[in-house]
A = this chain, B = another copy of it.
Amino acid sequence: MGEFDVIKQYFMRPAKRAVLGVGDDCALLQLSPGMQLATSNDMLVEGRHFFANVAPEHLGHKALAVNLSDLAACGAQPLAFMLALSVPHLAPNFLAGFSKGLWALADAQHCELIGGDTVQGPLNICITVFGTVPFGQALLRSGARVHDDIYVSGTLGDARLALESLRGQLTLSETALRQSRRALEQPQPRVNLGLALRGIASSAIDLSDGLLADLQHILQASGVGAGLDIDAVPRSILLAHQPQALQRLCTLAGGDDYELLFTAPPLEAPALQAIAKQAQLPITRIGQIQSLPGLRLLDAQRQAVPDLWVGFDHFRQ
């Protein structure tokens, strides 16, 4: 089986929304009047972003999910994606599983594969995703204003808990490992939440590097500071039963959460409650934007906590 056979068997379907999909030198996209194109890409490398023994189906899911999460953070509607895939050899088992996980999420999000590249080399997956957003309505990192509340969706830290367990740093029960591993390997991009936040959130980012690091990105882009209630950061019951130091590491500097971190003026609190109810997804207030530059961490007793955690840096960790 050669490169072109693989593309035909696993990665080629007729384009529905694109003008032209897989099979020519370029794919062609057309935007409705008044729409902007949002685009992002993420590259996943074995041993760095996933373990060699991950189920191919989960890997296919995650490779697209982390990209859709970037669209979600911008409030963009998914449209299409390109897949560049480097694999050591064309193993049908891997390709079948990988493409199954990829297509399941792509179909669920109405995001079609329109092109890409398949090459031989160390396993590497690079997806570029395209979405649409009405002119001027994209959620940016730079819009946070003083007195805005800081919110996060879902619960944080389970992915890091699984990572620490898989690295042999701690032991989890079989059930706990399965649950936390689902968070690590099958994150759900918050696309619908991102769409609902247009016109309500003042800034947004998706949590990939860890809460503290990603919040710093908002603060720097917006030129503001913040106070963060670290014990208010939502966590699963599973994580809540772990030692406090581990809870804090996982929720504050975990990485790979793929929840949305965003800010909104206090008057939007009722609208956010309605969105959370509609989406059946918790939205938790975890702090406030302040004029004083820098990030201040407070515990449940309103005592200052020193920042002991550094964000996830793919070259430092």
Q: Which residues of A contact B (CB under 8 A)?
A: 2-4, 6, 19-20, 23-31, 33, 36-49, 70-71, 73-74, 76, 82, 84-86, 89-90, 114-122, 124, 126, 128, 130-131, 133, 135, 138, 140-142, 204-206, 221, 313-316
Closest to A27 in B: B39
> 16 more A-B contacts (CB under 8 A) besides A25-B73, A37-B37?
A2-B313, A20-B138, A23-B221, A24-B74, A24-B221, A27-B38, A28-B38, A28-B133, A42-B84, A45-B124, A46-B121, A84-B84, A117-B126, A120-B315, A121-B122, A122-B122
Closest to A70 in B: B25
Evaluate contact between A26 and B316: CB separation under 8 angstroms.
no
Evaluate contact between A26 and B138: CB separation under 8 angstroms.
yes
Chain B residues near A135 (CB-CB < 8 A): 30
Evaluate contact between B314 and A141: CB separation under 8 angstroms.
no
Q: Could you tell me the distance in whole angstroms from the C-beta of A312 to the nearest C-beta in chain B?
A: 10
Closest to A141 in B: B24
Most buried by B among A27, A43, A140, A313: A43
Q: Could you tell me the distance in whole angstroms from the C-beta of A160 to the nearest C-beta in chain B?
A: 18
Contact among B86, B115, B120, B131 for A39, CB-based, below 8 A: B115
Q: Could you tell me the distance in whole angstroms from the C-beta of A3 to the nearest C-beta in chain B?
A: 5
Chain B residues near A205 (CB-CB < 8 A): 25
Once bound together, how far apart are the Cα atoms of A37 and B124, in whole Å?
26
Chain B residues near A120 (CB-CB < 8 A): 45, 48, 314-315
Evaluate contact between B114 and A39: CB separation under 8 angstroms.
yes
Closest to A130 in B: B39
Q: Could you tell me the distance in whole angstroms from the C-beta of A119 to the nearest C-beta in chain B?
A: 5
Chain B residues near A36 (CB-CB < 8 A): 19, 28-30
3 cross-chain pairs, A with B, having the tightest CB-CB distances, nearest first: A45-B121, A25-B73, A126-B126
A-B contact pairs, 17 of them (CB 8 A): A2-B313, A2-B315, A2-B316, A20-B138, A25-B204, A25-B206, A26-B71, A26-B131, A28-B36, A29-B37, A41-B115, A42-B117, A43-B119, A44-B119, A48-B119, A49-B119, A126-B126
Chain B residues near A29 (CB-CB < 8 A): 36-37, 39
Q: Could you tell me the distance in whole angstroms from the C-beta of A210 to the nearest C-beta in chain B?
A: 13
Once bound together, how far apart are the Cα atoms of A315 and B95, in whole Å?
14
Most buried by B among A4, A85, A90, A133: A4
Once bound together, how far apart are the Cα atoms of A115 and B71, in whole Å?
13
Once bound together, how far apart are the Cα atoms of A71 and B28, in whole Å?
11
Evaluate contact between A41 and B117: CB separation under 8 angstroms.
yes
Chain B residues near A74 (CB-CB < 8 A): 24-26, 28
Once bound together, how far apart are the Cα atoms of A55 and B173, in whole Å?
51
Evaluate contact between B313 and A4: CB separation under 8 angstroms.
yes
Evaluate contact between A37 and B43: CB separation under 8 angstroms.
no
Once bound together, how far apart are the Cα atoms of A206 and B26, in whole Å?
11
Evaluate contact between A27 and B48: CB separation under 8 angstroms.
no
Chain B residues near A313 (CB-CB < 8 A): 2-4
